């Protein structure tokens, strides 16, 4: 063997070794296995991928989601409070709205929100489409009006062309705007969490401590409310079953929607998917850490005081619910035209 061929052979061997040391990409069969639940009797279910019916509408909705021109200041977008780099939330006790106003309640994550029984903590919006229109016209959030927001979009040629391509007409209205935003939000499903792999039959996907935390999570009664694919979001429950929850936050829960006293302090159960990313916790954002949240929920919902060791195990389990976060190129927003209004965030 010549010196050159010997070096070439070594290079090939090194390349083969390096490739074999990497985790191979999932084949279609592996992907199917990853969404097939082997442990079917568990109250927690593997999260299924989003179904995209209209990719063009999703792309339009993505632009609108990131576009701050839907706010009066030209500074606040949907992503401001539901930041996709921060677990679909803003990691603040309550969000910052128009003119630096303090929001009344903690911003729930937008991730996997299409699985919710309804939107907002009190469920006042029946679906993502209805929810999307709320903040735009809320004086304390984006501070605009639907009419002004639509007129601004209509003044932007790039948006006019894109709405026509998606909806078959160049006439923009708030119904089309919210439909597109909701279509994008429906795709924000976080698959392939370590716990999903365990549910699919991979015994090595989670540690002994994490599994013990899950068993404790179940045996303590947590899965009565936190179950299904999203581990929540599918029911309304009273905050403070065993003992009252003390807070200075004025939110009334479902009572504000139904007018029924029995619904007072009934809130939509939050999803626990990606919960390690969505601090602080509860509707008032009072729990700063997962450990604190577990302690409080144990006491007021279950009448149980977890030991530090039990708390640590449950927290370890909860962290296995972090899935793959949305990954895509940030959209390039179409430029305003000479006829588009100019925003003044300081006025």
pLDDT tens digits along 197-215 = 999 999 999 999 999 999 9
Q: Write down the catalytic residue from 141, 185, 210, 212.
A: 141
Model confidence at 2: pLDDT above 90: no
At residue 38, the pLDDT reads 86
Instruction: Please report the pLDDT score of residue 63 as a whole number.
Output: 98
Confidence of residue 309 (pLDDT cuts 50, 70, 90): very high
pLDDT band at residue 40 under the 50/70/90 scheme: confident
Classify residue 266 by its DSSP letter. Answer: E
Residue 347: what pLDDT?
A: 75
pLDDT of residue 9: 38
The pLDDT value recorded for residue 37 is: 83
Q: Could you tell me which of 229, 180, 200 has the C-alpha nearest to residue 331?
A: 180
- Note whether 138 and 317 are within 8 A (CB): no
Q: What is the CA radius of gyration of the chain?
A: 23
pLDDT surpasses 80 at 5: no
Counting Cα atoms < 13 Å in the Cβ hemisphere of 138 gives 18
Residue 13 has pLDDT above 90, yes or no: no
Binding-site residues for heme c sit at 78, 81-82, 98, 222, 225-226, 297
Is 70 exceeded by the pLDDT of residue 29?
no
For residue 230, give both structure tokens.
């999203």
- Residue 34's pLDDT is 53
112 has pLDDT over 60? yes
**What's the rounded Cα separation, in Å, for the pair 266 and 257?**
11
258-279 mean pLDDT: 98
Quick one: average pLDDT of 241-263?
Answer: 97
**pLDDT band per the 50, 70, 90 thresholds, residue 36:** confident
Structure tokens given for 50: 């989003």
What residue ranges define each of the domains in the chain, with the CATH number in brackets? 55-186 (1.10.760.10), 190-319 (1.10.760.10)
Measured between alpha carbons, how far is 299 from 293 in angstroms, rounded to an integer? 10
| Rounded Cα–Cα distance for residues 86 and 102 (Å) | 19
185 catalytic, yes or no?
no
pLDDT value at 24 more than 60: no
> Does residue 91 carry a pLDDT above 70?
yes
Residues 69 and 152: their CA atoms lie apart, in Å, by 8
> Which residues does the annotation place in the binding site?
78, 81-82, 98, 222, 225-226, 297
């Amino acid at each position: 063997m010549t010196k050159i061929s010997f070096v070439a052979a070594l290079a090939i061997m090194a390349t083969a070794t390096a490739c074999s040391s990497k985790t191979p990409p999932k084949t279609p069969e592996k992907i199917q296995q990853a969404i097939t639940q082997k442990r079917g009797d568990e109250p927690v279910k593997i999260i299924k991928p989003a179904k995209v019916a209209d990719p063009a509408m999703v792309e339009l909705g993505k632009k609108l989601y990131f576009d701050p021109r839907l706010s009066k200041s030209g500074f606040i977008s949907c992503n401001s409070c539901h930041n996709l780099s921060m677990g679909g939330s803003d990691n603040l006790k309550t969000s910052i709205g128009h003119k630096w106003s303090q929001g009344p309640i903690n911003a729930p994550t937008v991730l996997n929100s299409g699985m919710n029984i309804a939107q907002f903590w009190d469920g006042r919006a029946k679906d993502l489409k209805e929810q999307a229109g709320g903040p735009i016209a809320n004086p304390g959030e984006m501070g605009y009006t639907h009419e002004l927001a639509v007129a601004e979009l209509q003044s932007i040629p790039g948006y006019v062309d894109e709405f026509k391509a998606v909806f078959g007409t160049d006439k923009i209205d708030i119904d089309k705007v919210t439909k597109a935003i909701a279509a994008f939000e429906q795709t924000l499903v976080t698959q392939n969490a370590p716990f999903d792999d365990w549910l699919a039959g991979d015994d090595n996907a989670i540690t002994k401590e994490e599994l013990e935390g899950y068993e404790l999570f179940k045996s303590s009664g947590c899965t009565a409310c936190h179950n299904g694919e999203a581990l929540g979001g599918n029911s309304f429950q009273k905050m403070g079953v065993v003992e009252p929850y003390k807070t200075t936050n004025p939110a009334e829960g479902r009572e504000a929607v139904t007018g029924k006293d029995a619904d007072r302090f009934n809130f939509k159960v939050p999803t626990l998917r990606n919960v390690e990313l969505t601090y602080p916790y509860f509707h008032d954002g009072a729990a700063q850490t997962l450990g604190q949240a577990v302690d409080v929920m144990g006491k007021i919902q279950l009448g149980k005081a977890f030991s530090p060791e039990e708390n640590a195990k449950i927290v370890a389990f909860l962290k296995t619910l972090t899935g793959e976060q949305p990954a895509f190129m940030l959209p390039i927003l179409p430029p305003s035209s000479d006829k588009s209004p100019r925003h003044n965030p300081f006025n």
